[in-house]
Structure 1
Amino acid sequence: MIPQVNGDNDDLEIEFEEEIQTSKTNKLDLVRKRVIGYTDGLEAIEQAIYKAIGTERYDHRIYTWNYGAEIAKLFGQPIPYVYSELKRLITEELTHDDRIDVVDAFLFSNNKNKVSVSFTAHTVAGNIEIQTEVAV
């Protein structure tokens, strides 16, 4: 039996409420390698950025294949290639996060087998300046 609706379909209006999730998470002490309390807002987003670009994609079973950056494939590549690919990989990884709108202002330098990269992540909580090194 097929349900029948009498009259106008305006009675079938469904209302949804969008709930914004907080970014409250465990705070990582990377120096002592332990969890110390909680963090939220801009600090939580910054921690998520460092964690995402510091995690190699496909290497850890606890993460989906959409998490992490494929930086290991840059080992041994020419420096100009590393610069362009690093920019693409970081931008691709970080813009998956709904809290990050744009990643720009990339600056690169290299010293022997390390590439230093700095960039700005424009987030819903404000701008974050990130600096990190990658072995190549």
Structure 2
Amino acid sequence: MIPQGGTIEPEREMVETLEQPSLTYRLDLEKGTISGHIDGLEAVKQAVVKILQTRRFAHLIYSSNYGQELDSVIGRDPLWAYAEIERHIKEALLQDDRIMSVDEMNITFSGEQAMAEFTVRSMYGAFHMAKEVRKDG
């Protein structure tokens, strides 16, 4: 015999969502140094650069949701590559909760490389970004 019981009703209380700070270290990628802290829009810009420079699944330190998979796209049919570049960039960036959308995607091809230009809209504001896509990363 299977026990019969009442259902547990969830209490109807509101759960407050707290916004986490985006304070992080300022990385100088050209010099390879860390200096100070950044927050808000500057932190989101830095996160976008880091995400787009990191190959997905290549580093165990990052989760499987972090990074991009653009290196397999170049060398294929440009129409297919256009759609895949757009999809991969949006997929990678929208993993960050601070990013609301990736819009105005424009991708141009030149031989074995492409240049993707787009607008990132975050909870702190919007900014323009560009990503060069090559077969070697």
Give the TM interval when normalised to the shorter protein: 0.7 to 0.9
Q: CA–CA distance in 2 between the matches of 1:77 and 1:67?
A: 24
The structure having more radius of gyration, on CA atoms, is: 1
Q: SS of 1:57's equivalent?
A: coil
Q: CA–CA distance in 2 between the matches of 1:35 and 1:117?
A: 28
Give the match for residue 3 of structure 1. none
Give the match for residue 133 of structure 1. 132
Q: CA–CA distance in 2 between the matches of 1:88 and 1:43?
A: 24
Q: SS of 1:21's equivalent?
A: coil
Gaps of 5+ in 2: 1-8
Q: Does 2:37 align with 1:19?
A: no
RMSD, aligned CA: 1.8
Q: CA–CA distance in 1 between the matches of 2:89 and 2:103?
A: 10
Give the match for residue 4 of structure 1. none
Q: Does 2:57 align with 1:65?
A: no
Q: Does 2:102 align with 1:103?
A: yes
TM-superposed CA distance for 1:110, in Å, is: 2.0
TM-superposed CA distance for 1:43, in Å, is: 0.7
Aligned AA for 2:48?
Answer: I
Q: SS of 1:69's equivalent?
A: coil
Q: CA–CA distance in 1 between the matches of 2:70 and 2:39?
A: 27
Aligned positions of 1:1-136 closer than 5 A: 16-136=15-135
**Runs (4+) off by over 3 Å:** 12-17
Q: SS of 1:120's equivalent?
A: strand
Superimposed CA distance per residue, residues 64-104 of structure 1 (whole angstroms, 9 cap, x where no aligned partner): 11111111221422222221101001111111211111111
Q: CA–CA distance in 2 between the matches of 1:98 and 1:115?
A: 27
Q: CA–CA distance in 2 between the matches of 1:79 and 1:13?
A: 52
Gaps of 5+ in 1: 1-8
Superimposed CA distance per residue, residues 31-68 of structure 1 (whole angstroms, 9 cap, x where no aligned partner): 11221211111010011111112111100010011111
With the length of structure 2 as denominator, give the TM-score of the two structures: 0.83
Aligned AA for 2:34?
Answer: V
Change (3 A) 1:79 1:13: closer
Superimposed CA distance per residue, residues 20-39 of structure 1 (whole angstroms, 9 cap, x where no aligned partner): 11111111111112212111
